[in-house]
Each structure stands twice: as structure tokens, then as C-alpha cells.
Amino acid sequence: MLVEVSKLSKQYTLGAGMEDNLRAALMQGIRNAWRGAGDRQKSVFWALEDISFSLDRGEVLGVIGSNGAGKSTLLKILSRVTLPSSGRALLRGRVGSLLEVGTGFHPDLSGRENIFFNGALLGMRQAEIRAKLDEIVAFSGVERFIDLPVRKYSSGMYVRLAFSVAAHLETEILLIDEVLAVGDIAFQKKCIGKMEDVLQEGKAIVFISHNLGLVRQLCSRAMVLEQGRNRFLGSVDDAIQVYAKACLVKPEEVRFQGKLSDRVQVKGIRLNGRDPFVQEVLVSPGDSLRFECWLELDAFERLRVDLALFVEGMRLCTAHDYPEGASCRAGLVKLWFDFPGGWLRPGMYFVGLGGQEGSKLGDWFWKSDVFSFVVIEEWVAGIHEVSTGCVNVSVRGRREYVSGVGATGE
Amino acid sequence: MKIFTIIKAPERNFRWPFLEIFRYRELLWAMAYRDYRVKYAHTGIGMVWALLQPLLMMGLLGLAFGIVAPVDTGGVPRPLFVAAGLSAWSYCAVIIAESGHSILGAQQMIKKVYFPRLIIPASKAITALIDLATMLTVWGVLMVVYGHVPGWRMLWLPVFLVLTMGMGLTLGIWMSALMVRFRDFKFVMPIILQVGMYVTPIAYPVSVLPESLRWLFYLNPMTGIVEGMRWCLLGEGVFDWAVLWSLPLVAILFWGALRYFRGVEEVMADLL
């Protein structure tokens, strides 16, 4: 076993005992001397409680859970940034992590100098860095600027350079926090590629992610954390089910915002016939999408209902049922929106729902992030692996000779 | 090399950190080199700044103790006298000032990567060797100018330098750890440096102080160190045995600093 974790717990003390200013500490000292130290009120918070697992060569453990479930604390303990309160972990081999990309980079120093310092910080020997320098620089693609201070780099160049240092660290155990990979799909791809390489070399990975599609694609087992406890440890599909059930709301709990919000109520939603409130829906890139919504409505004169797709907080598109608005009677209505397949690229999408009465400003209701779904990483005909972004387009570039050696145009 | 790591709850027993620091020696050098590059690489006149500051300081001290309130240096030319005392004090002061803030300044690294945290303040003592070298150069030039010969006592120089470094690190390590817990110490540090500057006999010899007050000055370990430094650099005067008092004092304070630092180190990432 490369990693053996047994009964790992981490406790944080809130309030008393951790005074961060001198006055409070002095006051506490005086109070304790007066009354005896026994009776101070401490409020204790368990960020992690009784976590055990082991990991063998070639295994990837996915750790999923909502925010604050203890995922980052677990990673911090495994990377030795913080110590556990009890329990132990055994790590056989060098530990690297892709959560510390660019740590210790100094803007005034050149790319080359930063490679050396960052490498040393991650635990590489100077000789090792020197041997791999060319490779690191080539991988980052910033050869021409390697002797410029990194403050002159674009943010993309900066991240690429930082990542290639981390990627060239030879480790037996790799810790990855996906939070970092969000925002740059090309970068995320590199992380994934690196993970696959590492796996083939027979190493172990702990992978923390919100992206259930990625967890399903890469992990051999998964653990669901809930309020610091191990809720489930086992097969990835089962773990995703457990997680989805634990964190999804009921359709009745969807609250709209806006003036009309109390005149509309969601009764149910289906995506391709599946209920996203029961389990996060995973679709293939080639699948067409049918969104069905059941809404309990009051009577409206000219109602328009909108459904919008978001990716990373940005509105990708909006669809309407009646762009000009149409009257409807009070009661339960069913709406559906059909999107063609092969259009969305792999990733996580959020769905927003809302509506507008007539053209009066302020007569609207809206809720973003009603539910989410995942387009999984899977390559089907007509979807090119080389392209990145969130939508597929069928545009082809053209090429022709203008002049040059061997040109025959004239 | 096979690496095997055991992670478990803090044990609260003191261990000397030297072995682990030795294992991370490459990072220690890398940090010191990085500090040096950051400090001097992109300033217009670079190293000239390292020279300018001690020269200015010498001028001010010369003015205060030579013209405003003249003090007897025992026949040693005043610039030489001040330069010898200042070389020890300024090395110590630079270490305290730089390492005191060092942990707060390295928060991002501490929250993300493991390494022995003591490396951060320790690396400042290495970078500060540049300031020491500049000061000793100034002293060397003055020795030539005044035709002074240091003699065999120069052999003692490493001892006093190690003591100076030990004293600087002691206070620097205390300060850096205290600042993590109590930000108030940001304001305490400049006060210590300012007071230290006057209660350390940099530009005056201890012999000008009234006999009854001297023991008070020797409570400050830097008093003995500066006196000793002058004895070995100038080759004048008699060896004051009270100087040896600084050795155990610095050793005990240093041990205390390491102990306190270790306690804070365990919870450092949670406190920052």
C-alpha cells in the first residue's frame, strides 16, 4: 500500500484558546489564574473525523462532498501543511501535489530563477532541476521569455510555467485539488493528461473534485465526505449516487427571486427523462437535451418563460417558450425545451429558470443554478478532441499558398 | 532514496531541528539566494544601497558620540571604533528585522507546501551575510587608511560572528513566531531594535559607564559581543572576561526560541 490512512481526525477550536490579539490573550490568562483554567468555554469543530482508507499503486481515489465537507482539510493533512489532531497516515514515497502550482513564484525574478526556487520548494534537488530544465521549459512553451521577470508574463504563461514545474516532479503519490483547475479548460486537460501518465507509471492519486464527470472518468474508487465524516467509500458510481442524494434539494424548495416569485412554483424537472433532483444527470456529448419543467402558475396575461444555460457563472445561452409572451390560466403547466446534440462540450453546466410578464420592467421571476448537469468526457464522431471551449462549432478553416518556396500560383 | 512519511498528531516534545534542516539544506540555500536576488537584483544601483546604509549610520553615530557628546575611545580613531562595533550590531539588527517578519511574509508558501518552517527565518541570517560583508569591507578599508594591524586576535572573529548570528536569530525566531499568534508584535519589534541600538555600546566603550550600572548593560548579550568584537577587530585593550557571559546567555535564549517556535510551527498553517 502506498497510502494508509487510519482514523484521521482534525479538530479546530473556535473562540477561546486561540486568541489572536495580545489583549485577549492577557485577559484570558488573568481570568484563568483567577478561576483556575478548567472552566473555559471552548467550542470545538471537527473538520475531519475518523477517516480511514488505503491506496495501492495505480489507484485513484476520488474525494467528493459539498463545500466545507473536509476535502481540503484532508488534502492539507496529507501534504503535511497542517497536522491532524489524532489518527495517523503512512505515505510510502514522495508526495507531490497539483494544488501548490506557482507557490513561491516571485514576480521580480526570471522564469528560470523561479523554476529553480519553486522546484526546491516542492522537494526537487538542484541537480534534478538542472537535468530537467530544458524539458520543463519546453513543456511550458515560454522558451523565449524564460529570462524575463515573470511579472511581465501573461496569466496564461505564468500558469503554464508553474504547472510544468509541478508536473515534472517525480512522485509516487499525487494530490490534486480540482478547484485550481477550474477556469482554464486547456489547463484542466493538462492536469488530466498528467494524471493518466502518473497512473500508468503505477503511482497513487488522491483527487478532490466537484466535477462528477471527471471523477467517473478517472477514479477507481471514491469517498463521499459529509461534515468531516466518511459517508461512503466504494465504487465510483455508488459514491456519486450517495453524494447526489445528499446534496440535492427537492423541487419544492426552489425559491424564485423577483416580484412575481410567489406566483410561480416548480413542481418537477426532468432532463432527458431523468430527475436532476434525485441524481446529477450525466449526458454524452452527442446526446440531444430535452428539458421538461412542471410549474404551478397563477393566471398571466402575457407570460414568457426563459431557460438559460450557464458555464462557470457565464450565461451561455437563453431559450424562451413564447418570445412575445402568451396568456395562461392558473394551474399546472408543462414546458419543454429541446436542444440539439453534439453542441455542448464536456463540462459542468448550470440551468437557470425564470420568466417575464409583458414588457413591464420589474415583473419577473428568476432563479439561477436551479440544477446542474454534466456533459461527460467522451469522444464521439464529429466532436474533435483537439478543440477546446464550451460549444462545438462546425467551422472549418481554409488554407492556401500565397507565396513561398515551390509556390505554383503564378 | 526511499521516502517514508508518518503523519500523526503533534507530540509536544522538543526535538532539535538541525537534522531536518540539514535534509532541507538545498531549500535553505535557494531561499537565501532568492532573497538576495529579490533584494538587490532589480534596484538601480544594486549593491551600492548595501554600502550606503551603514556609512550613513556611521556618520550619525560619529556625529552623536564624537562631536555632540564626545566619548573617549581609548586612543582608537573614531571611525574605526564605530565601524568595528557597528559591524556586529548591524548584522544582528538586519537578521532580527528580516526574520521577524519572515513567517508572515511567507504565508502563501506555508499554507500550501510542507518544509521545516525554521528555514524561513534561518535563511535571512544567510542573506544578511551580505550586509555583514559590506560592513567588514568598510572596516578593512579604514584599517588600511589608519595603518592599523589587527594581530592574532582576528582568529576570534568567527566566534563572535557566530554569537552575533545566534543572537539575531534568537530574537528573529521569537518575533516571527510571536507575530503569527499576536500581530501586536509588529509594533514591538521596531521598539526592540531602537532601544537595542542605544543600550548596546556600539559607539562608546562599556568603560565609560559608571561601575555600578555596568551589570545592567551586560544583561544585554549584545554588549559582551560588541565589546569582544572590538577587542578582536581593533587589537587594542584588554580582554574583558565578562564577555564570556554572553555565550551561555545566547545559548539559553536560542534554545527557548527554538522551543517556542516548535510549538507555534505545529499550528502555524491553522493560525495564518
Cα A211 from Cα A156, distance rounded (Å)? 22
**Domain-by-domain residue ranges, chain B?**
18-271
Interface check for A318 against chain B (CB to CB < 8 A): the answer is no
Interface check for A12 against chain B (CB to CB < 8 A): the answer is yes
Choice between A388 and B214, residue whose per-residue pLDDT is larger: B214
Print the domain residue range for A230.
Answer: 3-25+42-245
> Which residues in chain B are closer than 8 Å to A85, comparing Cβ atoms?
9
pLDDT band at A89 (very low <50, low <70, confident <90, very high): very high
Q: Residue B26 is nearest to which of A79, A90, A120, comparing CB atoms?
A: A120
Residue B63 has pLDDT above 70, yes or no: yes
Residue A239 and residue A188 in one domain? yes
Alpha carbon of A244: minimum distance to chain B alpha carbons (Å): 30
Hey, are the CB atoms on B6 and A90 less than 8 Å from each other?
A: yes
Residue A39 has pLDDT above 50, yes or no: no
For residue A307, the domain's CATH number is 2.70.50.60
> Which residues in chain B are closer than 8 Å to A166, comparing Cβ atoms?
none
Alpha carbon of A100: minimum distance to chain B alpha carbons (Å): 6
Distances (CA, A) of A18 to A23, A26, A367, B112, B250: 12, 12, 40, 21, 30
Answer whether residue A319 is part of any domain: yes
Alpha carbon of B271: minimum distance to chain A alpha carbons (Å): 8
Q: Residue B109 is nearest to which of A76, A103, A116, comparing CB atoms?
A: A103
Mean pLDDT score of chain A, rounded to an integer?
82
Rounded average pLDDT over A203-213 = 81
State the Rg of chain A over Cα.
26
Cα B162 from Cα A372, distance rounded (Å)? 63
Of all residues in chain B, the percent with pLDDT exceeding 70 is 96
Interface check for B272 against chain A (CB to CB < 8 A): the answer is no
> Which residues in chain A are closer than 8 Å to B269, comparing Cβ atoms?
76, 81-82
Answer whether residue A134 is part of any domain: yes
Model pLDDT, residue A17: 47
Residue A231 and residue A256 in one domain? no
Q: Residue A92 is nearest to which of B4, B184, B267, comparing CB atoms?
A: B4
Residue of B54, B128, B133 lying closest to B98 (CA atoms): B128
The highest-confidence range among A106-120, A174-188, A210-224, by mean pLDDT, is A106-120
Mention every residue, 6+ apart, whose C-beta is less than 8 A from residue A256: A264, A353, A354, A365, A366, A367
ipTM of the complex as predicted: 0.85
The highest-confidence range among A173-177, A188-192, A290-294, A356-360, by mean pLDDT, is A290-294
Residue A228 and residue A141 in one domain? yes
> Which residues in chain B are closer than 8 Å to A25, comparing Cβ atoms?
181-182
Which of A84-98, B67-81, B248-262 has the lowest average pLDDT? B67-81
Q: Are A332 and A299 in contact (CB under 8 A)?
A: no
pLDDT band at A243 (very low <50, low <70, confident <90, very high): confident
Cα B21 from Cα B246, distance rounded (Å)? 25
* Pairs across A and B, CB distance < 8 A: 113
Cα B11 from Cα B21, distance rounded (Å)? 19
Rounded average pLDDT over B105-112 = 88
Interface check for B110 against chain A (CB to CB < 8 A): the answer is yes
Interface check for B31 against chain A (CB to CB < 8 A): the answer is yes
Rounded average pLDDT over A42-51 = 83
Of all residues in chain A, the percent with pLDDT exceeding 70 is 83
Which of A112-116, B54-58, B242-246 has the lowest average pLDDT? B242-246
> Which residues in chain B are closer than 8 Å to A94, comparing Cβ atoms?
3
Residue A297 has pLDDT above 80, yes or no: yes
Residue A103 and residue A160 in one domain? yes
Residue A123 and residue A233 in one domain? yes
Answer whether residue A362 is part of any domain: yes
Instruction: Give residue-wise pLDDT tens across range A155-197.
Output: 778 888 888 888 888 888 888 876 555 445 566 677 677 777 7
Residue A220 and residue A281 in one domain? no
For residue A15, the domain's CATH number is 3.40.50.300
Answer whether residue A323 is part of any domain: yes
